[in-house]
Amino acid sequence: MIEVVNLGKYFYTNGKKKVLFEGVSFVLREGDFISLTGESGCGKTTLVKIMAGIETPSEGYVIYDGVRPSFFKDYFVSKFRNKNIGFVFQTFELIESISVIDNVLMPVYLAGASISRYRERAREILRYVGMDEYINSDVKILSGGQKQRVALARALVMNPKYIFADEPTANLDEKNAVEIVKLLERINREMNVGIIFITHRLDVMEFANKLAYIKDGKFFIEDNGKMSLFKGTNEV
């Protein structure tokens, strides 16, 4: 469980305080599926980066599985992040010149874990995301939707408890965007991975179980009834 407590982020420009957001409190549990929306520049990426311990808040703090890190904060948070959080980005961030499976194994390599121990796991995850035909292909031949599937496999290879996805559908057409979010939904449901994903798209945010948004520096979160807009699209 990742608990966000009274987070605020401020900037000072020419001595003037600018509040990006303040008083943000909520919980991301394993099994949660949260969409995060809000106008460009409202602080969505910043909030998710603070949760991942990549940026520091101006006030408030984050509790990781019941621990509020104080001493050895950076060490603790980076260890938590490497073990528990998989990341997906708008621009996929794959290495084009190496194969699909080598991209998926990159977090294993970076963690200094045994590549041979994870090779079967990487194949299994690539099958899960529907990319089994492309296991040994170069990334550069893939479409955007296929690249994002590979990026999802990479995020999952080390068995994270959470996925943080910053606009994973922004570079995809409508059909692929919906497919990627349906895949996120399946991962959430079948693997009990807690997901927070940023999006500007009304059609894909509706797949989430909780809808979060930032408006005028304030944070809101509500349960998604999952009824009106896309009734019938969630094959539960």
In the complex with ligand ATP, the residue whose CB is nearer, 53 or 107, is 53
Could you tell me whether strands 194-198 and 162-166 are parallel, antiparallel, or unpaired per DSSP bridges?
parallel
Task: Give the total of residues touching Mg ion (CB under 5 A).
Answer: 1
Q: Count, in order, helices (H) and strands (E) of the chain.
A: 8, 9
Instruction: Give the three-class secondary structure for 32.
Output: coil
In the complex with ligand ATP, the residue whose CB is nearer, 13 or 70, is 13
> Shortest Cβ distance from residue 140 to ligand ATP (Å)?
26
45 binds Mg ion (CB under 5 A): yes
In the complex with Mg ion, the residue whose CB is nearer, 180 or 198, is 198
Instruction: Give the three-class secondary structure for 150.
Output: helix
Q: What tokens does 200 get?
A: 């500007």
46 binding partner (options ligand ATP, Mg ion, none; Cβ < 5 to 8 Å by kind): ligand ATP
14 binds ligand ATP (CB under 6 A): no
Q: How many Cβ atoms sit within 10 Å of the Cβ of residue 230? A: 14
* Cα–Cα distances in angstroms (integers) from residue 209 to residues 133, 169, 195, in the given order: 32, 18, 10
Question: According to CB under 6 A, which residues from 29 to 48 bind ligand ATP?
Answer: 38, 40-46
For ligand ATP, the binding residues (CB under 6 A) are: 11, 13, 20, 38, 40-46
